[in-house]
Structure formats: C-alpha cells, structure tokens
Structure 1
Amino acid sequence: MPLPESPFQIDIGASLSLTLHEAASRQVDAAIDALQAGDFDVALTLAGAAEGMIERTGHHMFGWLKQHPRALERFDKKEWISILNSERDWLKHGGRPAMHIECAGAAFMIARAASKLEEWTPKMVAFKIWLLANIDNI
C-alpha cells in the first residue's frame, strides 16, 4: 500500500552554518517563542541547551544563583545546583514518571541562557522588558 503524500516541503539537501554564538542566540529566540506559545518544556530545553553552549567567565545569572548565600544556608552546593537544574535535567534524562513545569521555571532558564550571551537579539531585549515587568508575579 503506498504512503500518503506528505504535507512537508523540506529541502533535504539544505544546510546551515552557524557560529556558537549564533546557534545559542537562535535557541534562546526559539525558547522565547515556545514560552509565548505555552510550550514551557520546549522553552526550557532550548534555553538549557543554549546556556550550556556558552562559556563565560564574567557575570552571568547561573554563576550568581549557584553562589547565592541564602540558598547555600539551606542546601549544600551540589543539592542547590540540582534544584536549579531539576526541570532541565528531567527533560534531558527522564527519571520520575511526571514533572510539573511552570512558566516561571522556563522564563528563568531563558534569562540564565541570555545572561551568558554578549550580544542580544531584539527578541531577547523584549523578553527582558517583559520579565522585569512581571518579576513580582512569578
């Protein structure tokens, strides 16, 4: 029996060349799109991948969070990092049979990833404006 015709129009011979920064920026922008669509799992996964791509020795959000003194009063460093990465790690490796992923968790992962980028896209700037306007509601 023949297969039905596919609705996809994809050029199988196409390719894409990117720098590390371009790839991470595209992932953060796509994560913001997914966040807006309510696809928090997709947003968190893309932002988590982008964050992991970029090495940064200067100030960035995750570096600050993992050293936060009030958190380290309650948790040892390894446990605190595990908490910060719990949704990302579950989406990457599985484990528990289910996970509740909130908008706030995805938004903070996007902020973590963007904070490692030297240059931001207009979409990242707009996201920052939204996040700062809504930070008290998260």
Structure 2
Amino acid sequence: MVKPFDVGELEARVRSLLRRQAGLRASTVSFGAVTLDLTSRSFLAGGAALDIPARERALLELLFTRAGKVVAKEAILQSLTSLDDDLSGNAIEQYVSRLRKRLAPHGLTVRTARGIGYYLDRLAEA
C-alpha cells in the first residue's frame, strides 16, 4: 500500500487476507438463525437485517468468525480499539450485555468463559 493510506482500506485488506488464510470460501457464515454476510459485514436474521451499532457489530463479527471457540478478552480489546482509542474491560462487558439482549430473540447468546473471555452459543431450549 502506498502512504498515506485509509485505515478502512487497510482493515478491508487484512480481513480479506484472514479469510483466505482461514479457508473461508463462502461469502456468508451462519450460526443458528443469524447469518453474517462477510462482503457487506451485515447480519441477517429471518431475512431481515439486524440493526447493530458499529462496535457491537465488530464484536459480534469477531465472535461469529470464531463461533464455538472462546475469544480472550484481551483479543477483543485489541480487535475493537485503534491506536488513538481506549476501551476498558467494563466497556466490553457492556457491549456483551447489549449483544445478549439483541441475540436472544434469535436463539443465540454470548456466554462467558470465566477468567478467559467470551464465546457465541445457542440458547438452550426451555
């Protein structure tokens, strides 16, 4: 890339490289009733788009691409922050809480792996 470069373009290129390395050939990833479109970085549930703020969407995208695996809290902090940005652990907990509320109607939740991090899971049938 030629300097100066746009941070958005750098992020897009890194995501593209990571998808190739991970072997993700499909442009969508589904978990339960929710689908992530990797091209547009949007989430669909029941054919309708989920309206999720940017930071929560970035967190959900991280959890979605590693569905079923625990993502360390430090990795989440690094993924959601830039060089001129600062987040606390409490902010991550707040984002997780909001995501739980948004995902519950669609049968998904974000579970806590105590002392380690978070992971995406299906809600248990009642």
TM-score when normalising by structure 1: 0.28
More helix, by proportion: 1
Q: Larger C-alpha radius of gyration, 1 or 2?
A: 1
- Of Structure 1 and Structure 2, the greater strand share is in 2
